[in-house]
Structure formats: C-alpha cells, structure tokens
Amino acid sequence: MLPAPNPIRVVGIIPARWGASRFPGKPLHPICGKPLIQHVWERCQETCRLDSTLIATDDERIASAARKFGAEVCMTADDHPSGTDRIAEAACHCKDATHIINIQGDEPLISPQLIDQLAISLAENSKISMITAANPLKELKDREDSNIVKVVLNKHGDALYFSRSPIPFERQSTAAIQPVTPYYRHKGIYGFTREFLLQFVRWEPSPLEQAEQLEQLRALENGTSIRVIITDDESIGVDTPEQAETVSQLLNRARSKPPDTRP
C-alpha cells in the first residue's frame, strides 16, 4: 500500500525586525492603541485558509509584545539580509507545513480574503511554487514612480517581469489617456511551497535582482514561474511615521461608520 500523501498545511509567517533604517521600532509603533504588528496578526486571524500564523523576529522586545497579544513567535537570527531569509529560517521549524504565506509586518490593512486567495491557489495547484498579488495601477504619476513596483504578466497570469520602471512602455501618443495594456502595482505578499522557499534562499542574489533591488527577480532568473493574483485590494503599507498616522485615520474612519443593516 502506498503511503498517504502529506495533508496540506498552510502557515502564515510575519517577519518583523526592529532595526528598519527609515523607521526603527516600526513593528511596535502604536496605531489606534495597538502595536502595528498586532494589526497585521489580527488580519491573519480573520482568514479561513491559514492553519496557523506566527511572527518571526530577531528582537525580544517584538517577541514579548507579540506573546502578550497571543501570537506564536519564532526567534530567528539577527543577520538575515531579507524578510524572505527570515521566514525561511522560521519555516525550517514548521516541519508539518507544506506551504508558507509571507505576510509583510508593515501591512496592517492587508485583506484577509487576499491571503486566503493565495493560500487556496497554492494548495489546489501543485504546479505553482511561488505566488504573489498585484492591483490595477490607475494614475499616470504612479507608473513613473520608482518606489512603486510594477509587474507585467503573460496570458496565463504568470509574471514576465517586475520593475521600478514604467512597464510596459507604450510608444503611442495616446497611452497616457487610454493605455493599450493594463498597468499593475505589485503587492508585497508572497506564497511559496515550503520546498521551494528553502531552495530560493539557497540561490545567490541574481544580477537583475541586484540591479532593481527586487528579490522576486531571483526566482524568474532561475527559471521559476510566479503566479500573480489580480486583486482590488489597494491597502497601503507603513514605511514612515506619517504613513502610520494615515493608517490610523483610515481605521478610525472605518470604525466610525454605522453598521450596514440592510437585509
């Protein structure tokens, strides 16, 4: 008799470090009375397809705060070059995990439904090793913004390329008014099979990755397809104290709305 296949188990991992150069201590920055990282964790608790969620950190201050609000914590090394390396170390301790969702620790408004979409696509399609998300990019000024990462797709929904440059480049004079092809903003959420994640971090940083400073290009340069889920989730991340204040205002505004009582 053949052994039964391993059951699918999807684990959400939130990487968090103290020493962000632009915003030290960001994971514990208070937003509406809670640490930023707690808002991210609570969004993960609203999902249906994560079997568990843990916070991967190298800092005891973050770990202590996370345990206080009920999160599972994995302590990791303090010399990881990226959040992906940090979640890979945490994944090594999740022996029964088959798939990993990397939820950015500075995305307090991330959609639980989007997390579930990635988890479902990974679990139900054995051909997908890596998955991410993008939303339509509507403003012309955003196409030119090098801080906004753009992605172009093939007809199967896989990424052809990610860039800080405006891609695709359209030569038609009317492109600014009515683009021929859609523009997409890449969202910094990823899903991996556990096996592929551990392989990914063993590869050396690739030339295009280093040129664009976009880690996901390492997968493309090594011949791996990245499936892209198109979403209408336009939630913003927190890179600065000013953005934290914007998120606080958005949350307060949402809480002040009267409940929808329509039948």
Residue 177: inside a domain:
no
Phi-psi bin for 4: left (phi > 0), alpha (psi -120 to 50), beta? beta
Residue 202: inside a domain:
yes
Residue 262: per-residue pLDDT = 47
Return all residues near 136 (Cβ < 8 A) that are at least 6 apart. 182, 183, 184, 185, 230, 232
Return all residues near 58 (Cβ < 8 A) that are at least 6 apart. 17, 18, 75, 76, 77, 78, 80, 86
Residue 236 banded pLDDT, cuts 50, 70, 90? confident
Beta bridge partners of 161: 152
Residue 35: inside a domain:
yes
Cis bond before residue 168 (omega within 30° of 0)? yes
Q: Residue 61 pLDDT more than 50? A: yes
Q: What is the pTM of this model?
A: 0.91
DSSP class of residue 158 equals B
Rounded Cα gap, residues 256 and 208, in angstroms: 46
CATH label of the domain that carries residue 31: 3.90.550.10
Tens-digit pLDDT profile for residues 75-114? 999 899 888 999 999 999 998 999 999 999 999 999 999 9
Residue 242: inside a domain:
no
The count of domains in the chain is 1
List C-alpha distances in Å: 2 to 6, 13, 170, 184: 12, 32, 54, 45
Quote the mean pLDDT of the chain: 90
Full domain range(s) for residue 87: 10-133+186-228
- Is there a contact between 11 and 192 (Cβ–Cβ < 8 Å)? no
